[in-house]
Chains A and B, each alone.
Chain A
Amino acid sequence: SAVISQKPSRDICQRGTSLTIQCQVDSQVTMMFWYRQQPGQSLTLIATANQGSEATYESGFVIDKFPISRPNLTFSTLTVSNMSPEDSSIYLCSATQGGGRETQYFGPGTRLLVL
Chain B
Amino acid sequence: LAKTTQPISMDSYEGQEVNITCSHNNIATNDYITWYQQFPSQGPRFIIQGYKTKVTNEVASLFIPADRKSSTLSLPRVSLSDTAVYYCLVGSMIYNQGGKLIFGQGTELSVKP
Contact = CB atoms under 8 A, between A and B. Distances in A.
A106 B93 contact: no
Interface of B: 32, 41-46, 49, 87, 92-96, 99-106
A102 B34 CA distance: 11
Q: Could you say which interface size class chain A belongs to?
A: 20 to 34
Tell me the dominant secondary structure on chain B's binding face.
Answer: loop
Contacts of A107: 43
Tell me the dominant secondary structure on chain A's binding face.
Answer: strand
B28 to A, nearest CB: 14
B44 A45 contact: no
Given A30-B95, A42-B87, A42-B105, A48 B43 contact: no
B8 to A, nearest CB: 11
A45 B6 CA distance: 19
A94 B93 CA distance: 14
